[in-house]
Amino acid sequence: MSNPRLPVALALIAAVAAGVVWGPDLVVRLAIVHSHPYALDRFYRQDVDWHACRETAPGIRVRCAEVTVPLDYSDPEGRTTTVAVARRPATDTDHRIGTLLIDTGDRGGSFDGVRKVVEGAPRVAARHDLVGVEPRAPVRTGAQDLDVVRSAVFEERISYLGWSGGGNLGAGYAQLFPRHVRRVVLDSATSAPGDRSVPISSDTPVLLIAGQPALHRQLTRSRLVTVSGAAQARARVYLHGGSRCVSKLVERYLIDGQLPATDATC
């Protein structure tokens, strides 16, 4: 029987022989040897060119990039396209948790989600590298784009925050790549791709804000926060004028990893 760790060992030997400097980035790149089909290897191992962003805001230090992905994942040797990405590093580096991918669910651009979290949730922003993305539809393709972005920022696992359509994308990502997620918050999500009767079992619990009960039942490890009052009518709740109750629950989960003991109402 073949040893599944052999490719990692051989890659390490080759890297050392080539004089590659040992460091955390190399560790992560070696760790993803078995995290994707070999045909997609060139996308998962690409070096991203970070540059100044066209859109900025005072006090937000952000860099942008274009991550190359297959136009069609069923034809990885064919044409390619790019996904726009904006990244703002954690400011509390001594207590950095990891990377938080953000999708606003609209066409506001990759910078928009980063700005929302920096301005509306400074404690979350301080502890995470914030990476705003504008992935493609449909959900399955977008989820695959997210996983390429995860590798491009040198993370084995990421946390995810998505609103509306971005919430649906997060459900799809948790379904397709359950071992690559740390914490997932889905605001106003309605569905995941595929058969809705099939349970989605993720290694990581999911916090649903104002989500559909059917999706809550499908996500086997999830907590549903039902929103009442004026916020109930909004398409998005967290950081969109929602209640302090919602903000506390989300931030307690993203920062401390603590979910409500049971489903909650705000």
Distances (CA, A) of 77 to 48, 120, 135, 147, 253: 19, 42, 20, 18, 40
Helices 6-17 and 24-31: angle between axes, nearest 10 degrees: 140
75-93: average pLDDT: 95
Binned at pLDDT 50, 70 and 90, residue 15 comes out as very low
What is the rounded CA–CA span in Å between residue 159 and residue 250?
Answer: 12
Question: pLDDT, tens digit, for every residue of 57-71?
Answer: 888 889 999 999 999
> Which of 79-88, 102-111, 196-205 bottoms out in mean pLDDT, i.e. has the lowest?
196-205
Residues in a beta bridge with 262: none
Which amino acid type is present at position 240? H
* Residue 206 in this model has a pLDDT that exceeds 70: yes
Binned at pLDDT 50, 70 and 90, residue 243 comes out as confident
Binned at pLDDT 50, 70 and 90, residue 249 comes out as very high
* Residue 122 in this model has a pLDDT that exceeds 90: yes
> Which of 88-92, 175-179, 208-212 bottoms out in mean pLDDT, i.e. has the lowest?
208-212
CATH of 48-265, one of 3.40.50.1820, 3.50.50.100, 3.40.50.150, 1.10.150.110: 3.40.50.1820
**Structure confidence at residue 252 (pLDDT):** 95
* Residue 241 in this model has a pLDDT that exceeds 80: no
**Structure confidence at residue 79 (pLDDT):** 97
Q: Which residues of 45-68 are buried (b: 16+ CB within 10 A; e: fewer)?
A: eeebeeeebeeeeeebebebbebe
Strand ranges for the chain from DSSP E: 51-52, 63-70, 80-88, 98-103, 128-133, 158-163, 181-187, 206-209, 222-226, 264-265
HEC-encoded secondary structure of 228-247: CHHHHHCCCCCCCCCCHHHH
Domain boundaries, the chain: 1-34, 48-265
What average pLDDT is seen over the chain? Answer: 82
129's tokens: 């590298």
DSSP string, 98-142: EEEEEE-SSSS-HHHHHHHHHHH-HHHHHHEEEEEE-PPSSHHHH
38-46: average pLDDT: 91
**DSSP conformational letter for 21:** P
* Residue 20 in this model has a pLDDT that exceeds 60: no
